[in-house]
Structures are given as C-alpha cells and as structure tokens.
Amino acid sequence: MELSNDFETTRRFLEQYDRVERPCRAKWRVEVLGKRVRFPSVKVPANEYQHLITVEEEIQRCWFETGWCYTYGLFQATILQASIVVELCIERYLRSKGLWEEYEKEVREESRRTFGSLIAFARDQGPYLTPTILVKCKELNKRRIEAAHMNRRRNLVLTIQNSNLNDIDEIENVSQPSIEKPGEKEAFIASGEPGILFDPRKEEFYKVRAFKKYANESVGLAAEIAEMVFQLG
C-alpha cells in the first residue's frame, strides 16, 4: 500500500488501520498462545566455538518471532520461522547425542544444507527420529517449500464461491454496515490494499489472508514436533 510522505498523515493512517486490524491481531494471538515450546530439564552446553549463544536461546528467539509474525498477519514469514524453530530443535537433539558432526560431514554446507536434508539425514542414518516426528516434519517442510517458492499459490485463481477449496489461505468476510449509507455495506480498505474480493450480488467484501491456514498449521506442527523431539532427550 502507498503511504503519504507526510509523517502526521502517515501516522494517522496507521493508527486508523491498527484500530481496524486490532481485533484480528488479538484473535490471531489467541490462536497461537496455547502452543508452546517446552525444554527438557537437561541442558545442552553451548558450543562456544560456533555459537556466541546457545541453540536453546536461538530456539526461544525464533519461537518468539514466530508468534509475533502470526499475530501481525505476516503469515508467509510465520511458516518460515516455524520451520527454523524445528530445524534448531533437531539440531539441538543431534548435538545432545553427539551426531551433529556426522551430519556436517554427511551434508556439506556448500551442498545446500536445508530443512529437507536435515530430515533426510535423521530418517536415513538412524533413523534418529521417530516415524511420527518424521511425518510431521515432512508436512511442515511441504508448507515451508510452498511459502518459499509459491509453486501452487502463484497459479491459484481465488473465487468466493470456491474459497473452501483453497487450503493455503483464509478468505474472511470483512463487510460491515455502512455508517453513512444505511442499508448498504462497506469495508475499511487501505489505498491499494491487495487481496480484497467483492461479491456484487450480495455486496460483501472478502479479505484474502494469504498463507493464513498454512501458518496456523505450521505453528501447531512446530510446537508438536518440538515437544516430541525434546521427549527423546
């Protein structure tokens, strides 16, 4: 969206926009508040040569950012952050078992160390993770790949009638009674705001929240995977 270069004009616009979006942000925050990353009592010592801070501190930081990305509607970023959290959880587990160096030798940094390569290593070499964890990691990685490359979403044709067929986004009715024109409906739409569908038959406005469904699922998967990995030790 385009904003004025004038500070006061932009400030007033953002205040108004924040007031409208605040109920959504509160709802989204509540949706992820029940999901947590709980650490086991046994701590993994910091690798002082490679890390200025511990892996656990990085997990906590990335989980914090994941929650706030979701809260502020940055759903595509949420998916990537949730995947990073799980990557770090698996790294923590491999380090605790003395297996991280084996992974570093198996998958050289210059040959694309990715979430997928980490899953493959944990699956094929041990397997070091349970089948349930591996299945959930695969599901999360599928969402991460779509968020990173948009192989499916860039070719979607979103329509109100078929919105239930789209498993990536959330399409929400954002119409409200018009204050100035009783009997009519309106929606607060920022200048140039993307992702707005209008149904002229019912005069309803719909907001397309890109990657909302995938983001919610990814946060849940990350919390489940972290808990199961930590239970392994």
Domain boundaries, the chain: 34-151+212-232, 170-209
The predicted pLDDT at position 53 comes to 64
CA distance linking residue 54 with residue 68, whole number of Å:
22
What does each of the 233 residues of the chain score in pLDDT, given as a tens digit? 455 678 888 788 878 888 888 898 899 999 988 888 888 887 766 655 454 568 899 999 999 999 999 988 999 999 999 999 999 999 999 999 999 999 988 887 766 778 999 999 999 988 899 999 999 999 999 999 999 999 988 887 777 765 555 789 998 888 888 878 888 888 877 666 778 888 888 888 888 899 999 999 999 999 999 999 999 97
CA distance linking residue 163 with residue 145, whole number of Å:
22
CA distance linking residue 17 with residue 104, whole number of Å:
47
CA distance linking residue 226 with residue 79, whole number of Å:
15
Q: What is the pTM of this model?
A: 0.78
User: 219: which 2 tokens?
Assistant: 């946060």
Q: How many CB atoms lie within 10 A of CB 33?
A: 10
**Residue 122 in contact with residue 132, Cβ under 8 Å?**
no
CA distance linking residue 173 with residue 118, whole number of Å:
40
Return the percent helix, strand and coil in the chain, to nearest 5: 55, 10, 35
CA distance linking residue 171 with residue 88, whole number of Å:
32
The predicted pLDDT at position 186 comes to 83
Look up the CATH number of domain 34-151+212-232. 1.20.120
Alpha helices in 51-159 (DSSP H): 55-71, 75-96, 100-106, 115-124, 131-149
Identify which of 166, 170, 117 has the alpha carbon closest to the alpha carbon of residue 145. 117
By three-state DSSP, how is residue 177 classified?
strand
The predicted pLDDT at position 51 comes to 45
Beta bridge partners of 172: 207
